[in-house]
Amino acid sequence: MSIPQDLWQGEYDRLFIGGRWVRPSSDRRIQVISPSSEDIIASVPEAVEADIDAAITRAREAFDHGPWPRLSLEERLAVVRRFSAGIEERVEDIAKLVTAEMGCPITLSRSYQATLPRLMTDTFIESAQRYPWVDTRTSDTGNALVTREPVGVVAAIIPWNAPLLTSILKVVPALIAGCTVVLKPTPETPLDAYLLADQLQRAGLPEGVLSVVPAQREVSEYLVRHPGIDKVSFTGSTAAGRRIAAICGEEIRRCTLELGGKSAALLLEDADFDAAIAAIRAVSLRNSGQVCSNKTRIVVARPRLAELNERLVQMIESMPVGDPFDAATEIGPLANRNQRERVERYIAEGKNSGATLLIGGDRPSGLDRGFYISPTVFTDVDPNSRIAQEEIFGPVLTVHAFDTEEEAVAIANNSDYGLSGSVFAGEPERALGVARRIRTGTVEVNGSPGGFAAPIGGFKRSGIGRESGMEGFDAYVEVKSYGLPREVFDRLR
């Protein structure tokens, strides 16, 4: 296997603080481990409290006194357009970089990890031009100018599974709104955040507006608690989100949380199984199962259970597991050793729970190095069991049979999570009717995605707030009202 080492320097010696590459405050390092070889492929400085202080000081100064929040919307969009053009030119670099960092199969990286960030950026640019930044309202009780103004200094904390895409989901709308941002990438995948900083600097982002501070959990909490932060935007586990919500609650600090999922795909008795299996292949085992919106509970009409089980085994057998830099690979390694051990514990739990193991349940043969696990399917699964209730975040699916439509909806809703889901039926209108009864933030009807113009986010313990679409700007603005004399109001209308 050949790691494309030309994409990084091996050892970075600087942090990106307030738009400048500066020496860190300590000699602590973060080692980046290849999930496929277990080798150290790079290292970056580990940000400590003093680096967080410096980043927030620069962000605070840039927000309170700098030009960025005071530029026109079109002037800010011009910078973001140049950034979009820059990352479009580096799709292959981004794909290889994320594959090296976290093991996403390279074919998927070229689309999901590298192309989608640019498409998301462009959708935000288009949506910003339709967002109601300024509105006028009149009634018998008064005349108002209503504005949406930048919330301030944003702490953006991202996970390792789709690092650049998640960074874009937070950084771009925050910048367009006029905020300044301190981006905290996870220790497993800091390298793509360096690329993002470099591209925004090249695009002309003013100094102070962005910092990138790779850090461990303790320093991350310091960032969340820092009095200079106005808003926290976090994507990650529900456990970590609960802690962040508690801190923000103490400080009356705004927060957006995009957390875990245990989403269900409902296959009604007249579902097109060719379409359903194709969708399950794409969005249930995507990124080796490491996507929070993956549909990992497959809920099927009982008369078609045997057919589904057979089709799932055939599907798994046709999905190559191996080197993530091989274009044929569909299942790569898990992102790190801890994640593989976590998934293996859940597989052991499934084997002991009375469920039937259809396929997988072990480490693939011939892959002695790397954090690999065989894609696994359990059937005859109790909907209340741990493997059906808890987010595994690996290539593990559970199958559940239902007898009535009401039972199918009940199984889908039998979860602490409510992030995503899908419904397959012969008649799209019937599928939509069932989808309306599922308590999740997104439901795909017959495998149709909503796209980046639509908001994403979860019900219940899947989070607070929405990202993407025009709603994605709501997280980064404060709504402000001005009462106006009639003559001023009439001139503004």
Cite the active site residues: 258, 292
Kindly state the tokens that stand for 491. 């001139």
Kindly state the tokens that stand for 195. 């690329």
Kindly state the tokens that stand for 158. 């991202």
Q: Where are the beta strands (DSSP E) in 180-230?
A: 180-184, 210-212
Which is it for strands 180-184 and 210-212: parallel, antiparallel or unpaired? parallel
Q: CA–CA separation, 125 vs 149, rounded Å? A: 17
Q: Do 378 and 401 touch, CB atoms closer than 8 A? A: no
Q: What is the phi/psi pair of residue 403, to 5°?
A: -105, -30
- The helix (H) or strand (E) run that includes residue 463 is strand 463-464
Q: CA–CA separation, 215 vs 97, rounded Å? A: 19
**Residue 467: Cβ-neighbour burial (10 angstroms; 0-12, 13-18, 19+):** buried
Q: What angle do CA 293, 428, 383 make, to 5 degrees?
A: 45
**Helix, coil or strand: residue 329:** coil
Widest Cα–Cα separation across the chain: 78
Q: What is the phi/psi pair of residue 331, to 5°?
A: -120, 115
Kindly state the tokens that stand for 221. 């909490």
Q: What is the phi/psi pair of residue 26, to 5°?
A: -140, 175
Kindly state the tokens that stand for 353. 């729970």
Query: Could you please report the per-residue DSSP string of 373-429?
Result: ---EEEES--TTSHHHHS---SSEEEEEEESSHHHHHHHHH-SSEES-EEEE-SSHH
Kindly state the tokens that stand for 93. 């670099």
Q: CA–CA separation, 278 vs 271, rounded Å? A: 12
